[in-house]
Amino acid sequence: MSSLSRSSFVERLLSELPSLLRVARRLTRSEADAEDLVQATVERAIKQRDNLRDPDKLRGWLLRVQRSVLLNTARGLRNRLEVIEGGQGGAALVEPRGDLEAEILERSFADGVKRALERLPSEWRDALLLREVEELSYEEIAEVQGCPVGTVRSRLARARAALFEQLSEEQSEEQWLGVTKSGSRISRRGTTGR
Amino acid sequence: MAGCNQEWFENLSAWHDGEVTDADALRIEAHIAGCAACRRAAEMLGCTRTALVGAASTEVPDRLRARAAAALAPRFSPRPWVWRSLGAAAIAAAAALVFALPHRELPSAVEDELVSHHLAGFAREHPCDFESSDPAAVASWLQGELGYSVDVSIPPGTRLLGARLCRIEGAKTAALMFLREDKPLTVFVPPEGSDAARTARGFAGEGLRCTSGPLGKAICVKGVGRPALVVAEIDPGVLASTLQSAP
């Protein structure tokens, strides 16, 4: 049983709309369908909020509800060809910082990642985005994707390896590493702070 | 490129995600320290995360926020619509106002903003920042919060719940919250000289003008005196009639 009051649940649910919309866009490939899916998810979530066991895992729970709503609609089954929707265009990816060369290369890296991502198998891509962008744990991703945790671990490693391979076809890794230092920092247990 | 071999790269990937035990973390970090290929792969994992997070959209259209808020709004018990009890002439006269005045249209962004604030307010467990059915008390609270006076009059057939603050077209605005036959009604009173006040006058002139807003909500705008913008979940003609009867 969720320990959140109705108002807290509503407030937190509304704060999760960006995440729900990002994933819905990938699932439906259509802005209009994505918004319909988010609304249907919100309606389902408020009805089922007593099923939320751990309020700290609200996002993962909502994404599971969203997947369930999608799978229960004929339109969802037909259109279930995920795509990556960047949202902010390439021009908006990197804030100008005065170092034009680094900025151009960094933007180029981000564009390269996006292109490479589009070529990944949908389940790998989905797992990667649920981890990196939506910040779900392996356990939560497993629940969203309906697979064992070990499969999530394997999907993520394969997705990343394939991504790097495609990126390396575009540029030498030394060049990427040389220009993306601002976004990378090796620290204990993980390579970047959020 | 992906580490020194597949097994180590899978370990690195899980370590990057913080999904390894403390003992495994130490083992992996010791390996990274001595393996140039895995060190480079670890850096690439960080770069990729930064790129993916940077490319993720965080924007949610106002229309979707309004739809979500509507879906989350508490359902009020249905009662017979009040127009059934109003005279046909009053309804006709009020409905005539809806599209009668030849002024500018209400910008859709403002419509979205009004409906979104209306729904978001009533979606909360306690819709008001200040709860009171006493118009003088509500007016006094608003004066203190906003620094301008708001005439808190109660439209016929409505019950004052209190007030909250919000922003309409960037200006801090009073929102008076009512129930009319158990249906939510919000009266937004922007400060004089604000964009919202100008928009209201541009739309309603020196009278009262109503329209159908997003999600089937009625929006009525009063341009005479201190401008006010009203959102309710009733027919625009009925809302116009209610507001016309207001003191």
Window 107-136 of B: residues touching A by CB (8 A cutoff) are 120, 123-126
Q: What is the pLDDT of residue B158?
A: 87
Q: What is the pLDDT of residue A63?
A: 93
Does the beta-carbon distance from A192 to B46 stay under 8 Å? yes
pLDDT category at A93 given cuts 50, 70, 90 is very low
Q: What is the pLDDT of residue A6?
A: 79
Which of A86, A137, A173 faces B44 most closely, judged by CB atoms?
A173
Q: What is the pLDDT of residue B22?
A: 92
**B85-100 b/e (C-beta count within 10 Å ≥ 16 → b):** ebeeebbeebbebbee
Does the beta-carbon distance from A186 to B43 stay under 8 Å? yes
Mean pLDDT by 10 residues, chain B (247 residues): 84 94 92 91 89 86 82 51 39 45 68 82 78 91 89 87 89 90 88 89 83 80 86 80 70
Per residue in A11-40, pLDDT (tens digit) is 889 899 999 999 998 888 788 888 888 988
Q: Is B36 on the interface with A (CB under 8 A)?
A: no
For CA atoms A159, A165, A169, A173, give the dihedral sign: positive
Residue of chain A nearest B48, judged by CA positions? A113
Mean pLDDT for the stretch of residues A69-79: 59
Q: What is the pLDDT of residue B235?
A: 77
pLDDT at A183 over 80: no
> Collapsing DSSP states into helix, strand and coil, what is residue A171?
coil
Torsions phi, psi of B211, nearest 5?
-155, 170
Q: What is the pLDDT of residue B125?
A: 67
pTM for the model stands at 0.54
Q: Is B19 on the interface with A (CB under 8 A)?
A: yes
Q: Enumerate the residues of chain A whose CB falls inside 8 A of the CB of residue B42.
A: 186, 191
pLDDT at A134 over 50: yes
Asked if residue B90 lies in contact with residue B241, where contact means CB atoms within 8 angstroms, the answer is yes
Q: What is the pLDDT of residue A80?
A: 40
In sequence order, which residues have a C-beta less than 8 Å from that of residue A150 and are 6 or more positions away?
none
Asked if residue B242 lies in contact with residue B155, where contact means CB atoms within 8 angstroms, the answer is yes
Q: How far is B107 from chain A (nearest CA, A)?
A: 21
Does the beta-carbon distance from A161 to B44 stay under 8 Å? no
